[in-house]
Amino acid sequence: MVEVTVTPQSSLADRPVQIRVRGLSPSQLVTLRAWLKDEQGECFQSRAFFRADGAGEVDPGLHAALGGSYSGVWPMGLFWFLQPDTLFQRLVKRDVAGSPFRVRLEVLDGLCVGTEPQQQPLGSCEAERWYVGPGVQRVPIREGRVRGALFLPP
């Protein structure tokens, strides 16, 4: 059984996480895909191709991506290289305090290059990426022509 894990599962958006895939065949070619839908329903995704090591594992922090959205060793590459399915869209988080981005991580057999995979994932998991930590207060600022927000720690 193929298992995909992200540690920690819930974290602040600027904190690194560790992605690991276990249970593959040694030297198996796989596609790791990350995707999310923003608050407007637009889909953003990234993918990277990997060859499993001798133990049947893939760790983007140790193993180089062979291609896809990026190549080389990028521990956070699947998050950093998210691209919109619709051209000229930007990934923007409006409700920073109320909800996280939920990033779905999937491992697919072989090299999958289409925007929608034609097969079921071998394994998947979900990561929460928060933009405001617990207990932080958001105070709107409106002073003359100045608009902004002040974030106060607990």
Closest CA to 101 of 36, 16, 151: 36
Taking the C-alpha atoms of residue 116 and residue 15, their distance in angstroms, rounded to an integer, is 28
Q: Evaluate the CA torsion angle 45, 30, 65, 3 in order and state its sign.
A: positive
Q: What is the pLDDT of residues 114-139, one digit of tens each?
A: 777 778 999 999 999 999 999 999 99
The residue among 112 and 6 whose pLDDT is bigger is: 6
pLDDT at 94: 87
Structural domain boundaries enclosing 39: 3-152
Q: What is the mean pLDDT of residues 12-25?
A: 97
User: For the chain, what is the total number of helices (H) and then of strands (E)?
Assistant: 1, 11
pLDDT-derived band at 140, boundaries 50, 70, 90: very high
Tell me the CATH number at 91: 2.60.40.2240
DSSP 6: E
Q: How many domains does the chain have?
A: 1
Cα 30 from chain centre: 17
pLDDT tens column, 81-125 = 999 999 999 999 988 888 999 999 999 999 988 777 778 999 999
Angle at 70 between CA 132 and CA 20, to 5 degrees: 65
Checking if the pLDDT of 31 tops 90, the result is: yes
CA distance 108 to 28: 11
